[in-house]
Structure 1
Amino acid sequence: MASKHIKQVIVMRKDLNMRKGKMIAQGAHASIAFLTRQATIEGNVLQTHLRNPEEVLEWMTEGFKKICLSVDSEEELDRIYQQAVDDGLVATLITDSGLTEFGGIPTKTCCAIGPNRNEDIDRITKDLKLL
């Protein structure tokens, strides 16, 4: 059963017209990046240093609730991401290297916000459209 209190939102740029497989890969990068970017390897053990371990544990044990939303520009993606950071939420911005799409130009494709409390994320993303 999905958590009623904690979720993650993936915000994807629609203006890039990415192939579906590319979008899925970028969203998957965004969803897991909060764990890898807050981690170190000590010996052969991955140590995570999460700011909100209780919320993450609830999210991980109760269904990994995710919502996929869209924006129509890099500027809109940057604004949503920065607002999440400014509000102290877990947020990760993904920049694709451009090797398979985007003509070799590194391109911001999506961001993930959360896992955090639904109401904290909704304050930022409530007006965005479903992907």
Structure 2
Amino acid sequence: MGVEHKQVIVLRKDLNMRKGKMVAQGAHASMRAILQLGHAAQGNFVIPLDTRIEPWLLGRFKKICVSVNSEAELLAVHDAARAAGLITALIQDAGLTEFGNVPTYTAVAVGPDREDRVDAITGGLPLL
């Protein structure tokens, strides 16, 4: 069997988001990580497949959800993923339904990429 690929969604537990809000924020992160790689071309939206994206989109599509306990921890994960050259997407909620109209960082997607590369950044974080 080949190398496994995955994406990890990191969510802030300290915000005490409603379950639906937490799911939505994780979905935003996952989608942005992939869609930010695409572009419009002749009426289509094209996402170039590379060694990080293709095995994940056309294979097992593995996602894992983990948590952090602060904005500082969330931003540190995002920064570490970027520094490692991983696909990453940081989500800032507008605060319209929760968080008292204050824009708030809620989630980060790390990957997709090879499991070992993603785990180097997120492997120590607890499952959600």
TM-score normalised by the shorter chain: which range applies?
A: over 0.9
Report the RMSD for the aligned CA atoms in angstroms.
Answer: 1.4
Q: How does 1:36-115 map to 2 (within 5 A)?
A: 36-49=35-48, 53-115=50-112
Q: Deviations over 1:45-86 (max 9, x none)?
A: 112356xx1221111122210110000000000001100000
The amino acid of 2:29's aligned partner reads A
Normalised to the residue count of structure 2, the TM-score between the two structures is 0.93
Which residue of the partner structure matches residue 125 of structure 1?
122
SS of corresponding position for 2:53: helix
Alpha carbons 2:5, 2:56 under 8 Å: kept: yes
1:6 aligns with 2:12: no
Q: How does 1:1-40 map to 2 (within 5 A)?
A: 5-40=4-39
Between stretches 110-119 and 32-41, larger displacement belongs to 32-41
* Structure 2: unaligned runs, 5 residues or longer: none
- Partners of 1:19 and 1:57 lie apart in 2 by 33
Normalised to the residue count of structure 1, the TM-score between the two structures is 0.91
**Identity in percent:** 48
Q: Paired residues, what number?
A: 127
Off by >3 Å, runs of 4+ in structure 1: none
SS of corresponding position for 1:63: coil
SS of corresponding position for 1:129: coil
Which residue of the partner structure matches residue 116 of structure 1?
113
SS of corresponding position for 1:33: helix
